[in-house]
Structure 1
């Protein structure tokens, strides 16, 4: 099974030997890959929609993996029992939905050992939620694919020290590692924000001034993050 760069990076965060529940499995590609590579002994592919789950079943059957990959129709973790798997994967969905899934079934989340998360939006909100609700980020990665940037993380139960604003926006582990993909993302963000600022400087009106103030704050945070690459 060949995975996209994004999905391969997500799968690479799974601890070897861990059983997995893949939430929003879509085609079932990640569970199939984890079994094929001997990373996971078994997996549960879960999705809220019947169509993606049917596609996943077809792919699983084609590879003769029905004994080790089960499919379940599920809204988030609702169809998973406490202790059934070690790891939860939630990739390719909005940050608000990731939080709702983590919040929705506390008995299940408490029984899980690790969480592989790849929010497509609101990542600052996700990081803040994790740090305030007893989750510790132990690894982060970021890939660029087809011109888009995808940050992701592995978290476990534990106490997280307070993040500063740059860490919430861009990821403490990524900044500590001076991750090259994050650097490219920061440079792109800086260039885009500077261009928008130039345009706003030529405009009048209270709304433009307000946006300019917000933009200056955003640029300052981007610069603060870039400073960590110069230390």
Structure 2
């Protein structure tokens, strides 16, 4: 297995991992990412964290099959509890989960002392990207780069962040779209938000037909639609 055999989504995540990193891959699912990066000579050490026994055993088998038991440790643990101080982790990847769950994992890791604040975070939420950006801003992380890609009829975003001495405030629009993605507006970004516009317009129409119209939700959707229309026309 090599880096080229990763899915496009995981390849983008892997590209954001620094050379020589000591990596913690949380929710590792077969350990595909750490194994590929280790075989490519990109990382020096890795921890694979899995909270479910099935994927945990799959990750163990993948690491053993690749002959990497001395360089990659697989642990059955919830979130960042997979990380131990002796690991000296400097990069954390969390991919393929909802944004709310990713933010919760990071918050728990911070509270429990597994997240020092010195790590580079490479995060790939399947949905709820705004929740990830809100947590990063609240905790003083700067979003260094963002990527958006389409694979197998799904659109994914990858957010790379590091804590900085000077807190950078994002506007509500930047949290909604992603500051770098909004600045670039590539074809995948435009496709995503055209789809979101159609979906929100449908939901708005249904809400406005309700016997009791939920005004707060209606206004929220109208605001989001106004942002989307502006982003798509500018």
TM-score between the two structures when normalised by the length of structure 2: 0.87
CA contact (8 A) 1:135 1:157 kept: yes
Match of residue 114, structure 1, among 116, 120, 132: 120
Inter-partner Cα distance in structure 2 for 1:116 and 1:170: 17
User: Once the two structures are superposed, what CA deviation does each residue of 1:28-72 show, in whole Å capped at 9, x if it has no partner?
Assistant: 000011112221122111111222111111111111111211111
Q: Match for residue 97 of structure 1?
A: 101
Aligned-partner SS, 2:114: helix
Match of residue 154, structure 1, among 145, 153, 160: 160
Q: Match for residue 218 of structure 1?
A: 224
Inter-partner Cα distance in structure 2 for 1:143 and 1:178: 12
Q: How large is the Cα RMSD of the aligned pairs?
A: 2.2
TM-score between the two structures when normalised by the length of structure 1: 0.88
Q: Does 1:180 align with 2:183?
A: no
Aligned-partner SS, 1:226: helix
Aligned-partner SS, 2:80: coil
- Which residues in structure 2 correspond to 1:59-208 (within 5 Å)? 59-82=62-85, 84-106=88-110, 107-110=113-116, 112-158=118-164, 159-195=166-202, 203=209, 205-207=211-213
CA contact (8 A) 1:137 1:160 kept: no
Q: Match for residue 32 of structure 1?
A: 35
Aligned-partner SS, 1:218: helix
Inter-partner Cα distance in structure 1 for 2:52 and 2:185: 39
Aligned-partner SS, 1:60: helix
The unaligned stretches of length 5 or more in structure 1 are none
User: Once the two structures are superposed, what CA deviation does each residue of 1:130-187 show, in whole Å capped at 9, x if it has no partner?
Assistant: 1011111101111112222111111111144222222111100111222331121112
Moved more, 148-157 or 108-117: 108-117
**Pair 212,132 (structure 1): closer, same or farther in 2 beyond 3 Å:** closer
Inter-partner Cα distance in structure 2 for 1:100 and 1:46: 15
Give the Å deviation of 1:197. Answer: 5.1
